[in-house]
């Protein structure tokens, strides 16, 4: 399957596209600041705990709004076309990648518990856990989708127009993603593994976006990651620790090198899967790529009709 994602509709790397990114960022951060201050002033309960987290998640609607306005008025692209390249939303691909990655995270957690049993405490209260999950899951989906639409949507497309666009679109968006998420006090406490964890994770999401020709799969993976981190396990020093979330297990301290190794193993496994999938698909066609070109050439010759052969009755 030819990888075309990010080519249509085009968002060329130019002054306009960079200015569009700045406008998106201003709408996102400016709208978030106004929203949080307004809600906190009107509803004091939103200043802490679960209400503060809900308010924060809702602020990601400003990010989606910024991308919508820029794509529509800067580039005259319908938002649906920008998201799906003229196709229908691929809910099946979203569900497959969500379930696959969620199961991979569960496997990682089980291995971590077996290797470091002293680091965990069971922390499960079914009814509060279910209630918080029902409330936060749709908002986590909004947050996950908003970030993917920005990084693997707008920015990814912007750099696809460069020479060697696939490499640059994945590399630059991953680097910016890591700088925003990994260079903060929480992650820097773990040394170089904090930023590297986010860099590798973003690189993986870029590869998935390319191989699956769209945003459905990376959104599914991002959603699975955030649901796992907010409902399955919690850990000490997390910024979400005091925001009213309910987890099944609690890790006293996060082992970032171990987490980085898990993501690295997933990336290598996915790369191997794509390699053997491509090799298998080529082997199904006798003679490989050469025969495909020959077949296409013969078809084009057979379909061609000389002007003198056309008879009008």
Q: What is the pLDDT of residue 22?
A: 96
CA proximity to 194, closest of 203, 181, 206, 205: 181
Phi/psi at 78 (5° precision): -65, 140
Residue 181 counted as domain residue: yes
* Percentage with pLDDT > 90 across the chain: 60
Tokens representing 313? 């009755």
Contacts of 191 (CB under 8 A, 6+ apart): 256
Q: What is the pLDDT of residue 263?
A: 86
Phi/psi at 312 (5° precision): -100, 125
Q: What is the pLDDT of residue 285?
A: 60
Residue 52 counted as domain residue: no
Rounded CA separation 254/133 (Å): 22
Rounded CA separation 214/148 (Å): 10
Is residue 210 classed as helix, strand or coil in its secondary structure?
A: helix
Tokens representing 305? 């009709």
Residue 39 counted as domain residue: no
Residue 66 counted as domain residue: no
171 CA to centre of own chain: 14
Contact 182, 197 (CB under 8 A): yes
Residue 166 domain boundaries? 86-309
Dump pLDDT digits (tens) for 47-76: 999 999 999 999 999 999 999 999 999 999
Instruction: Give one DSSP letter per residue of 7-65, joined into a string.
Output: SSS---SSHHHHHHHHHHHHHHHHHHHHHHHHHHHH-GGGGSHHHHHHHHHHTHHHHHH
Tell whether the model's pLDDT for residue 38 goes beyond 90: yes
Helix or strand run (H / E) with residue 121: strand 120-122
Q: Tokens 């640059």 sit at which residue?
A: 168
Dump pLDDT digits (tens) for 128-180: 999 999 999 999 999 999 999 999 999 999 998 888 788 889 999 999 999 88
Residue 67 counted as domain residue: no
Is residue 284 classed as helix, strand or coil in its secondary structure?
A: coil
Q: What is the pLDDT of residue 7?
A: 82
Q: What is the pLDDT of residue 242?
A: 76
Q: What is the pLDDT of residue 17?
A: 96
Rounded CA separation 3/202 (Å): 19
Is residue 164 classed as helix, strand or coil in its secondary structure?
A: coil
Residue 130 counted as domain residue: yes
157 CA to centre of own chain: 14
Is residue 242 classed as helix, strand or coil in its secondary structure?
A: coil
Once rounded to an integer, what is the mean pLDDT over residues 113-125? 91
Q: Residue 211 burial by CB count (10 A; 0-12/13-18/19+): exposed, middle or buried? A: middle
Tell whether the model's pLDDT for residue 305 goes beyond 50: no
Residue 277 counted as domain residue: yes
Rounded CA separation 106/167 (Å): 31
9: preceding bond cis by omega (within 30 degrees): yes
Residue 178 counted as domain residue: yes
* Residue 177 vs residue 181, higher pLDDT: 177
Beta bridge partners of 121: 250
Dump pLDDT digits (tens) for 251-298: 988 888 888 998 899 889 888 888 888 788 777 665 554 444 444 444
Q: What is the pLDDT of residue 287?
A: 54
> How many domains does the chain fold into?
1
* Residue 280 vs residue 311, higher pLDDT: 280
Dump pLDDT digits (tens) for 223-232: 999 999 999 9
Q: Across the chain, what does the average pLDDT equal?
A: 86
Contact 253, 236 (CB under 8 A): yes
């Amino acid at each position: 399957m030819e990888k075309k994602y990010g080519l249509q509709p085009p968002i060329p790397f130019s002054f306009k596209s960079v200015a569009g990114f700045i406008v998106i960022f201003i709408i996102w951060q400016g709208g978030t600041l106004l929203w949080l201050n307004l809600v906190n002033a009107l509803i004091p309960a939103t200043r802490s705990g679960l209400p503060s987290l809900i308010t924060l998640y809702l602020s990601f609607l400003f990010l989606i709004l910024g991308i919508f306005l820029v794509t529509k008025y800067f580039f005259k692209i319908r938002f649906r076309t920008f998201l799906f390249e003229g196709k229908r939303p691929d809910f099946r691909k979203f569900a497959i990648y969500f379930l696959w990655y969620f199961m991979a995270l569960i496997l990682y957690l089980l291995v971590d518990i077996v290797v470091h049993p002293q680091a965990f405490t069971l922390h499960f209260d079914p009814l509060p856990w279910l209630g918080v999950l029902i409330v936060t899951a749709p908002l986590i989906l909004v947050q996950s989708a908003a970030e993917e639409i920005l990084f693997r949507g707008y920015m990814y497309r912007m750099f696809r127009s460069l020479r060697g666009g696939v490499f640059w679109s994945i590399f630059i968006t991953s680097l910016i993603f890591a700088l925003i998420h990994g260079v903060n006090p929480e992650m820097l406490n773990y040394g170089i593994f904090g930023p590297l964890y986010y860099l590798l994770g973003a690189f993986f999401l870029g590869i998935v976006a390319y191989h699956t020709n769209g945003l459905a799969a990376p959104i599914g993976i991002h959603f699975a990651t955030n649901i796992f981190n907010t409902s399955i396990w919690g850990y000490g020093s997390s910024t979400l620790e005091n925001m009213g979330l309910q987890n099944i297990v609690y890790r006293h301290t996060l082992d970032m090198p171990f987490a980085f190794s898990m993501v690295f193993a997933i990336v290598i496994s996915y790369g191997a899967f794509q390699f053997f999938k491509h090799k298998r698909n080529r082997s199904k066609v006798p003679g490989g790529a050469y025969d495909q070109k020959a077949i296409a050439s013969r078809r084009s010759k057979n379909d061609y009709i000389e002007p003198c052969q056309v008879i009008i009755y």
